[in-house]
Amino acid sequence: MGKLLVKQQPLQSLCREILAKPLNRSEAEIIADSLVFADLYGVHSHGVIKLKASLDRLNSKLIEPKTEIQLERDMNAVALLNANNGWGQVASVQAMDLCIEKSRTFNASFVGVKNSNHFGIGRYYTMKAAKEGMIGFACSNASNYMVPFGAKTPSIGANAFSMSVPTKNDFIITLDMSTSNVARGKIAIAQRDGKPIPNGWAITIDGEDTTDPEEAMKGYLLPLGAKGSGMAIMLDILSGILTGSNFGANIPSQFEGNEPQKLGHLFGTMNIESFIDMDKFYERIEVKVNETVSTEPMEGFDRVVMPGQQSYETYQKNSREGIPLDKAVLEELISLARTYEVDAIFIEELLSAIGGEI
Amino acid sequence: MGKIIIKEDILSSLCVEVFSCKVPLHEAKIIVDNLIEAELTGVSSHGVTKVFDYLVRQEKNLISATTEIEAERDEITTFTWNAHNGWGAVAGKQAMQECIERGKLYGVSFGAVNHSNHFGIASYYTKMAAKKDMIGFAFTNSSSLMVPYGGKTPSLGTNPICISIPTGTDVIVTLDMSTAITARGRINLAQKLNQKIPNNWAITADGNETTDPTEALQGYILPMGAKGSGLAIMVDIITGVLTGANFGSGVPRQYEEDIPQNLGHLFGTIDISKFIDLDDFYKNMKDRIDQIVNSEPMEGFNRVMYPGQIEHERKCEQLEKGIELDKEIYLELISLAKKYNVNVEQYEHILNEVR
């Protein structure tokens, strides 16, 4: 499959203009920024490839065109926002901003979001906190695709957890992990390439082991062992039950479902300088980074990296050289742009950025 | 070696008598309470066997007999305490109490402890919060015995993550997991039984794969893949780097090295009722648990459980019937008690009864 390199700016502008047709421009900007951010960091499964699916949900009236956020609870270091079935990214940016603001006063805080939709990638929010000298946390629940450890039937999502820690330079230490054994996207790729998958990735709809990606896609994901299953359950409670959102088996599928997902998210921040002098923290974090990256690698490994280091390097490369995207993804974007009657200049810009026609 | 069944209060009283020969009684009670909770919940690696490890270090003056806590930072919802090389369990319990009080006021609280020692079982603290209708968090770093993912040399402990969530009943959903692929205790067991271990559990001191438990114990533990390694690094940062304690390869080993460990812990609370009415929360928690335990099990599994279910069931069973303990450990406790001139008559008497 051919990849084309496309610069961030024309890609983001085109996505923004598409979204700005059915949505407010301010919301369109946030969503486009979050999608392209994912592609910049190499997390293409959460990038612009998601645009069409989100718009499909909008057109099926499963997501509101305008995110009317209500502050349902606000008490010292805690707040709860109701996204009223608006856009996950929009509500989440507001929630993380509020969380950061609260931690400037209280030093540690958590803000929940209820009745929301897919929020994109978690690090988009946790890295915001890190840039303010804070440690950021984000979690969300998700479509009910994963079985608890040892079960045949699903009652959890591959619930993701993200955490970011600042260093004194541009690099932000970031763990952004799902609790499944592998991402569903990896199974989709195996399906596309017609290759078998290892046992342990997924089970069939009848709860049997499978190496057939087709059966796996119809079935359920397996968690990262008992520990991954336990984490997914805890994240479901923190993001779903604590916020008063849907949880577990009650969450309809993002793609096949025909009702609002009512997802929940939880954001957290800790103000580092309330624990230790910032200079001292940065000195110590540098020691931690250095001891990790200077570790002699085991056989079969080139090097040892910090959490988020590889994606940071991808970000640097993609910012410089352009984001590698499948031709089909770009074709879909252009076709969306035409459907939404986006000003031709934005399509032209994208086309010229990739060297003309596709 | 055989097992004995012993009532929780008797085992506890023996351990307190032993400990209080070396540390003030009120601290002895806290340390032992933590060890007994570990025994009750079936986590015997963190149970009364730790009495010996702790006292060995105390006798070498590697742990202070009394825990003098000093507040270094006090910042509304957060604080940093220096435990001055006192007992991890004592500093930990006090720090969690502080997090509970502040969490009740502000909704959230996180407290750091530096210059501490092994704090026992993490769920001891998180359950304190859960009993107050809060979500509790506890993290600690530990001896540098684990390699980061893909590395040959250690710069991590098997740093645990622990979260407890109340259900409105005596059940507390608790995830208490290390970030290693397996517990060191399982490698010890394989060594004892003369069995091979899978090649992804540990590496030799030279960084090579091994299936030999002896080589593994001389070497280093492997993390639970890239994700476990990432989690361990993050835990090391919030418990070590953030708190001002030792971190990474700077943490000396608990058993082999004769210097204070200067471990760091982080405790946290979220007050549930600040987010949602408790009745609604508990109703949904019941549904959440039901969804899990009512799942049809896969082939090879008897049932599906919520996090902490095995430990909860074990605790209920052992509170009723008594704690199942290696006889060898009990005998060692008694001889240690004798060494400290504790009157062991009633404890030896029990041994006759159970025989």
Query: B295: distance to nearest CA of chain A, Å?
Result: 6
d(CA B46, CA B232): 19
Q: Is the pLDDT of residue B335 over 70?
A: yes
Read off the tokens for B72.
């270094």
Residue A195 forms contact with B (CB below 8 Å): no
Structure confidence at residue B354 as a pLDDT band (50, 70, 90): low
- A1 pLDDT above the threshold of 70: no
Are B244 and A148 within 8 A, CB to CB?
A: no
By mean pLDDT, which of B29-33, B168-172, B254-258 is the weakest?
Answer: B254-258
Residue ranges of chain B assigned to CATH 3.30.1370.60? 66-180+223-315
Q: Across all residues in chain B, what is the average pLDDT?
A: 96
3-state secondary structure labels for all residues of chain B: CCEEEECHHHHHHHHHHHHCCCCCHHHHHHHHHHHHHHHHCCCHHHCCCHHHHHHHHHHCCCCCCCCCCEEEEEECCEEEEECCCCCHHHHHHHHHHHHHHHHHHHCEEEEEEEEECCCCCCHHHHHHHHCCCEEEEEEECCCCCECCCCECCCCECCCCEEEEEECCCCCEEEEEECCECCCHHHHHHHHHCCCCCCCCCEECCCCCECCCHHHHHHCEECECHHHHHHHHHHHHHHHHHCCCCCCHHHCCCCCCCCCCCCEEEEEEEEEHHHCCCHHHHHHHHHHHHHHHHCCCECCCCCCCCCCCHHHHHHHHHHHHHCEEEEHHHHHHHHHHHHHCCCCCHHHHHHHHHHC
pLDDT of residue B101: 98
Per-residue pLDDT at B346: 93
The ranges assigned to domains in chain A are 4-11+14-59+322-353, 69-180+223-278
Domain at A4-11+14-59+322-353, CATH class: mainly alpha
Of A291, A203, A56, whose CA–CA distance to B154 is shortest?
A291
Give pLDDT tens digits for A112-145. Answer: 999 999 999 999 999 999 999 999 999 999 999 9
> Which DSSP helix (H) or strand (E) runs through A59?
helix A51-59
Query: Given a cut of 60, is residue B138 above it in pLDDT?
Result: yes
Inform me whether the C-beta atom of residue A95 falls under 8 Å from chain B C-beta atoms.
no
The gap from C-alpha A31 to its chain's centroid, in whole angstroms, comes to: 12
CATH number of A69-180+223-278: 3.40.50.80, 3.30.1370.60, 3.40.1190.20, 3.40.50.300?
3.30.1370.60
How far apart are alpha carbons A236 and B78 in whole angstroms? 26
Whether pLDDT at B355 is above 80: no
pLDDT value at residue B351: 82
How many CB atoms neighbour CB B71 within 10 A? Answer: 11
To probe the interface with A, which of B98, B141, B291, B301 has the most A CB atoms within 10 Å?
A: B291
End-to-end CA distance of chain A: 13
Q: Quick check: A76 contacting B, CB < 8 Å?
A: yes
* Interface predicted TM-score (ipTM): 0.97
- Which tokens is A47 given? 């990038």
Q: B20 near B80, Cβ under 8 Å?
A: no
pLDDT confidence bin for A348, thresholds 50/70/90? very high
Mean pLDDT for B209-221 is: 96
Q: At what angle do helices A278-293 and B225-236 cross, to 10 degrees?
A: 150
A147 and B106: CB-CB below 8 Å? no
Query: What is the reported pLDDT for B103?
Result: 98
Nearest chain B residue (CA) to A177? B227
Percentage of residues of chain A with pLDDT beyond 70: 99
pLDDT tens across A223-235, in order? 999 999 999 999 9
> How high is the pLDDT of residue B183?
84
The first and second tokens of residue B112, run together, are 């750091």
User: Residue A256 above 80 pLDDT?
Assistant: no
The pLDDT of residue B232 is 98
The verdict on A247 touching B (C-beta cutoff 8 Å) is yes
Residue A290's H or E segment, with its range, is helix A278-293
SS3 category, A266: strand
Architecture of the B66-180+223-315 domain: 2-Layer Sandwich (3.30)
* Dist CA A181 CA A307 (whole Å): 18
How far apart (Å, rounded) are the C-alpha atoms in residues B22 and A333? 72
Whether residue A185 is predicted with pLDDT greater than 90 in this model: the reply is no
Q: Which CATH code fits B1-59+322-355?
A: 1.10.1530.10
Residue A358 reports pLDDT greater than 70: no
Q: What pLDDT shows up at residue B1?
A: 63
Q: Span A1-26, mean pLDDT?
A: 94
Q: Hey, of B81, B82, B108, which one would you mutate to test binding to chain A, going by the most A CBs within 10 A of its CB?
A: B108
Taking only the tens place, the pLDDT of each residue in A270-322 is: 999 999 999 999 999 999 999 999 999 999 999 999 999 999 999 999 999 99
Q: How far is the CA of B254 from the CAs of B32, B52, B90, B142, B257, in angstroms?
A: 19, 12, 18, 8, 6
How far is residue A34's CA from residue B244's CA, in Å, rounded to a whole number? Answer: 35
CB contact under 8 Å between A76 and B284, yes or no, is no
pLDDT grade for A254, boundaries at 50, 70 and 90:
confident
Which of the pair, B298 or B350, is modelled with greater confidence?
A: B298
**pLDDT for residue A255 is more than 80:** no
**Which among B227, B238, B307 has the least Cβ separation from residue A177?**
B227
The Cα B316–Cα A273 span in angstroms is: 43
Q: Say if A94 is an interface residue toward chain B (CB within 8 Å).
A: no
Contacts of A288 in chain B (CB under 8 A): 233, 236-237, 240-241, 247-248
Integer-rounded Cα radius of gyration of chain B: 21
Distance of alpha carbon A85 from alpha carbon A260, whole angstroms: 7
